Chain A
């Protein structure tokens, strides 16, 4: 055989192999690139959703009331949908097409969560369709019952140390709610605080105009922040003053002894819990009429050994059970309860959707890792799922979890900012707000903490008028500890009495001020 023939035979053999291999690699590359793109889109769209939620919450002074919250969650979800479909290149009417790939969206709030998912609906002609809607609000609830059945209570947990208890204990029906604390910090609490913020105000006589604390107005009119803890603005004291805060004084007024009341009420509630709920162990947790440990035993779910080990959740006299600490028995149990409730509900929603879906793809709840569960049980979060988009040989399946860092539903210890005021005018002397452990926070002045939510832009939506925007505090973010914290070295604030006091007072007051939706259970 001639050499030329050999060459040709070689080419005939090698060429198809190379072509096929290259096509295969190209396809794999395309799939991975596409997957990366989808991951990105999903993450940024979820962030847009959370951003929309935060913006709505900051412009709405009633946004912590549950009905207003439903609207905020719905608009967050619609922002997510819009953002995702525009990113995918299917804007406008095709948004419904996109929805088919989203089996569920979870929105966790302070004391419960919403699931947005297609729900099976039947119309009058018996046509079954799946319609997307926000399912009813689920509280982080679990039931505990002892073996003899003499004690049977339901407990609503929240993202922090607040709980609501209702049910029968030895023949008596109780409804109680409050914060759980095990350390009495009254030595570190300011008994009478003075808080200041800029607020729109109106004179009671004369012109009907509202004065807004805009940057310009403050300079030209020499406005000062109002002392919102002053009796002057207390709506309970009916006296005539020449001005009131707009829209209503009671949106602004803060009880000067809020922090102290927080601790005294919390200690009282905690001692009641110690007395009446110390019988509760983690293995008594039930959903409806089934013990959780039995449910998970049947399913061989190893993630729930929390419910099989006998631990006393509401005994706070031990060192490993400080309810304010995220590693305590109470907090661990709470995380497990929140997780089991969310996981079971999501699982159900997604598998119901899968059964009714026309797609060949089987929708399933992906496994979240422990860090993600911790995130979900410690802050307001949005968790979105995107599944079943065909990508050549595979299907896309991923989820995105984004935490909200600024909202008025929940105060986390790192969401407090502090100002140091030496001359008592309610403004920071240096013009900046800091973190508690920043070395530029002046210990010499009076240190007051505010929620980070108070430093963002506020808007007033008024009827027949254009929106007005202002800040409650015109201090700027410290460049060293907030704007660019790369070279930030923390100082040990626990040792400085002034800072310790400011910190615990602010945390307690902010918690006391929260509007708590489960309050209605107490009657």
Chain B
């Protein structure tokens, strides 16, 4: 009796060790590699935008394609902060070591994507800032397996995320 109980426990343990443990490990590695790909793609995209001074359809598509080729779906959040130096001209320059008072105003995906679709290029100017946030929207296998064994609180848990930002270095048009 006692022997067969141990056998059952051993079979369950073996099943976990043989299937679930490697699966978890492999899927975790998979996520790591996806993370790496997403990180690199995001950095490349941002660096390209800041050195050329424009977001092009091509680059954006490349970013979308590279990140989705990891087998997950992603939210790509673009934010461009546009530099407006005009208010600085009207300041009184009381502090002589201060270079004006500049303002930034932001545009996001909703403003950027229609322009990209229409003209293929979203021009920026020197001094603007761009930041890109990429997060996975679906649950990856690793997340599911982890959820099976222990649950994590919060609904917006994401496994793969990359963010990158920079100041635009060139005038785009």
Please indicate whether A and B come from the same complex rather than being unrelated chains. Answer: yes
Task: Tell whether A146 is near chain B: CB-to-CB under 8 Å.
Answer: no
Is B51 touching A488 in the complex (CB atoms < 8 A)?
Answer: no
Instruction: Indicate which residue in B11, B40, B91, B96 contacts A466 across the interface (CB closer than 8 Å).
Output: B96
What 0/1 readout, one digit per residue, does chain A (395-426) give for beta carbons within 8 Å of chain B?
Answer: 00000011101000000001000000000000
- Which residue, of B21, B92, B171, B172, has the highest number of chain A Cβ atoms within 10 A? B171
| Residues in A neighbouring B83, C-beta threshold 8 A | 483
| Residues in A neighbouring B43, C-beta threshold 8 A | 36, 39-40
Binds B, one of A81-89, A384-392, A474-482: A474-482
Task: Tell whether B109 is near chain A: CB-to-CB under 8 Å.
Answer: no
| Residues in A neighbouring B99, C-beta threshold 8 A | 457, 469
Is B170 touching A3 in the complex (CB atoms < 8 A)?
Answer: no
Cα A488 to Cα B125 with chains together (Å):
13
Task: Tell whether B146 is near chain A: CB-to-CB under 8 Å.
Answer: no
Binds B, one of A25-33, A60-68, A160-168, A299-307: A25-33
Is B169 touching A18 in the complex (CB atoms < 8 A)?
Answer: no
Cα A405 to Cα B83 with chains together (Å):
15
- Once A and B bind, how many residue pairs between them come within 8 Å at the CB atom? 115
Question: Interface range on chain B: under 10, 10 to 19, 20 to 34, or 35 or more?
Answer: 35 or more
Cα A43 to Cα B14 with chains together (Å):
52
Number of A residues near B (Cβ < 8 Å) is 49
Task: Tell whether A208 is near chain B: CB-to-CB under 8 Å.
Answer: no
Task: Tell whether A289 is near chain B: CB-to-CB under 8 Å.
Answer: no
Cα A47 to Cα B129 with chains together (Å):
13
What 0/1 readout, one digit per residue, does chain B (156-168) give for beta carbons within 8 Å of chain A?
Answer: 0000000010110
Is A486 touching B14 in the complex (CB atoms < 8 A)?
Answer: no
| Residues in B neighbouring A50, C-beta threshold 8 A | 169
Instruction: Indicate which residue in A10, A28, A33, A43 contacts B50 across the interface (CB closer than 8 Å).
Output: A43
Is B32 touching A471 in the complex (CB atoms < 8 A)?
Answer: no
Task: Tell whether A288 is near chain B: CB-to-CB under 8 Å.
Answer: no
| Residues in A neighbouring B84, C-beta threshold 8 A | 477, 483
Is B169 touching A403 in the complex (CB atoms < 8 A)?
Answer: yes
Is B32 touching A26 in the complex (CB atoms < 8 A)?
Answer: yes
**Chain B residues close to A by CB (< 8 Å):** 7, 10-11, 13-14, 17-18, 21-22, 25, 28-29, 32-33, 35-36, 39-40, 43, 47, 50-51, 82-86, 89-93, 96-97, 99-100, 107, 111-112, 115, 122-123, 125-126, 164, 166-167, 169-173
Q: A25-B32, A476-B89 are in contact. List 6 more A-B contacts (CB 8 A).
A: A21-B29, A25-B29, A43-B47, A214-B92, A215-B93, A477-B86
**Chain A residues close to B by CB (< 8 Å):** 3-4, 6-7, 10-11, 14, 18, 21-22, 25-26, 28-29, 32-33, 36, 39-40, 43-44, 47, 50, 214-216, 401-403, 405, 414, 457, 459, 466-471, 474, 476-477, 482-488
| 20 A–B contacts from the bound complex (CB under 8 Å) | A4-B10, A11-B17, A25-B33, A29-B32, A29-B35, A32-B36, A32-B39, A33-B36, A39-B43, A401-B51, A402-B169, A459-B96, A467-B96, A469-B96, A470-B93, A484-B107, A485-B172, A485-B173, A486-B123, A488-B123
